[in-house]
Structures are given as C-alpha cells and as structure tokens.
Structure 1
Amino acid sequence: MRGRPGDPSALVRALCAVALVALCARVLGTAQDLAVRLLLAAALPLYALDQLRTARIATGTGPAARPDRVGLALSRAWLAAALIALAAWRGTEEAVPVVLGALGAGAAIGLASTRLPVVPVAGDLHDLSRPPRGWRHLLYRLWPVASLAFVLVLTLAPPDGGWPARALLAQMVVLPFLVQRFPPNGRGGLLRAPIVPRLAGVALIAAALLLP
C-alpha cells in the first residue's frame, strides 16, 4: 500500500520538496532565508503526512462522502500553497504578494484535485471508530478556513517591524495540518507509527525557527 508511514515515501517527498525549493531559489535568484526555507520544505511532507493520510481514509462514495472529499481537497490546497510560498519566497518585504499568490495557486490546485480519483489507503494504523464528534467534528471541518484567517491576519496585519520570515513561512507549514480526521491506534510498531514522521517534521520546524 503506497504512502505507509513506515515506507520511504515520506522521506522521498521531503527530499523532492527540498530539491524543488533549492531549484526555484537558483533559477529565480531568490536566496533570501534559504536555510529556513529548505528546513521547512523538508518538514512539510513529514509533518503533513498523517493529516493527509487520514483525510484520504475518510473519503468514500456517495453524498455522505462529499464533506470529506472537500476536506481532502482543502488539505491538498494547503500543501501546495505552503510549498509554493517556500519556493517563491523573496523576503519579508514582498511577503504579501508571495503569500497571497501561493494561497491562490494552492486553491486552484486543490480545486483541480477534486477531479482526480482518490487512491485508497489502509486504515490499519488509525482508530477509525473514533472520528471527531461534536465540537471536535466542527473544529475539523472549520480548521482549514480558520487557518486561512490566521495566515491572512498575520500576513496582512503584522506588528511594527513586521514578522521574521521564519514565522510567516512556518505558519503555513504548521497551522493547516494541526487537526486530523482519525487518531493513531498505537499499532504497527515504532517504525510504522504515524507519529514518527510527524515528530521528524516538528524537529525540522523547530530547527528552522531556532536557526541563528
């Protein structure tokens, strides 16, 4: 089954994201904050993997599956937007057009992804009997929009002196993927545990934020 937390796909995606950001920086001549961007690019697929995986598990067929298909499209849109922002970053002075452009491009990619078939993934590493209910369910449904509000406020209304680049970029990597559809069930051992790539992503994000 592709995309299992224990196989190398998460690492391969992280390396591809780093290569894309490095290539764009080279081609576009945008070396600003490059070390931070590369660390966050490596963190993004690792940190977002389990959230995207559970969003895919939740999708199905029929009218009842439509909200989860929308949720998966929004997660994909955020993944694309964060990666585009990291690749196109030109410094804090041009943060607004870069972030807004990345959000627009990500939304277009997320919308286009709704036309693609959803490849099934196994749910053996998650507790499918415990989907979010009540206020947790509402939080899960609204979180992509809440993340958008946070990102727009932090980008468009910065404090005096502005935000550092690492804060503006890290928010797009962290916020959209905080809330996921199903919790892990603790099976599969350490190497297959969904928490492992997520913790690796957290460590890389922390390194980017603490980088001198």
Structure 2
Amino acid sequence: MLPLILFFVILLAYWWWKQYRLNLTEPPSFPGAWPIIGHIHLILGDDLYLWRTVNEMVDTSFMMGGVGSAFIGPRTVYDVIGDSDRDIEKQDLSQLVYLEAVLKESMRVYTIVPIIARKLDKNVKLKRCTLKAGRTCFMFLFGIHRHPVWGPDADQFKPERWLDPSTLPDTPNAFTGFGVGRRMCIGK
C-alpha cells in the first residue's frame, strides 16, 4: 500500500511542478495553494523543520523506553487494536489517553522550539511594565514548561500528571508545545 501512495504523491508533485512551474526551494505560492501542502513542502525541503519533527519522535521514543512507568504506553495501543494489522482509526484515539499523556509530557520536557518570537500588534500590560505595540516579544517556552506551576517535579518526565486534571496548571498557556496564538502548529 505504501509504494502505491508514494507513487501517487510523486505523480501529484510532478503534475503540480509541470502545471505551475513550482520552484522546489520555496513553499508553493500558486493561487489557492493549500496551507497543508506548504507545510508538507517544508517537512520535505527544510532540514531544520524535518529535524524538529524527527527530534520530537526520538525524544518521545527515548522517554517511553527509558522511564519505567511510561513503558506501559505502547501496551495501551496493543489493547486498543489487538493483534489485527489495521491502522489506528479516529475513534481509537479517545481510548489512547495514556499515549496522549506521554506525547504531551515529552513535548513539555523536551521542548521542540525553546524560544519563539512574536511581533506585538497592540500594547500588552504586564504586572510591572507595558510592552509597546510593534515590538518583538520573545517567549522562553523551555522555561514556561519548567515553571513551578507544574509542581516540584517539573524537571521530571511524569506522564501521569496529564491524567488527573487537578494536577495540571490552571492557566491554559502553561503548555505551549504547539506554540500559541494564531501561528500555532497546525499539527495540534
């Protein structure tokens, strides 16, 4: 099945290249370009973007294999799909609660992008100062994910914290694994 899908993806890419004479070093800009196509183009063409994706997969695999309690995560996948050779379907995702907790915790402990920048479109009032519109604001996501609101064990990999909502921080932006705002990762 995979070779057939790969063949059609290559055929579609060739057709787009012939149809629109795409420059393969830049994301597509033809009329009606789908954002997801540009995103896939980034994964295939940008080494840094590919590195971030692979890095998250490796970090999650490392944490699942190296930490005793997280090792039961893949077992839950087996419990859901059993011995069948089928793919995981959308209705299966609601049953994979522990696996979701492992993925979120690995993104919290090993933040993919440790710092993000945003240009402010309006003044932002903080406790002791005001950030003026037009300025660039940097957010240290690595520090946000290690903040004391995560508890005294904020530096430890502990997926169980995601299973009990009372142990999670009250603020919704305490977890920024996918970024924040309008430019949040579409993979969320």
TM range (shorter): under 0.3
- Highest Rg: 1 or 2? 2
Q: Which has the higher helix share?
A: 1
* Superposition TM-score, scaled by structure 2 size: 0.28
From the two aligned structures, give the one with the greater strand fraction: 2
Higher relative contact order (CA 8 A, sep 6+): 1
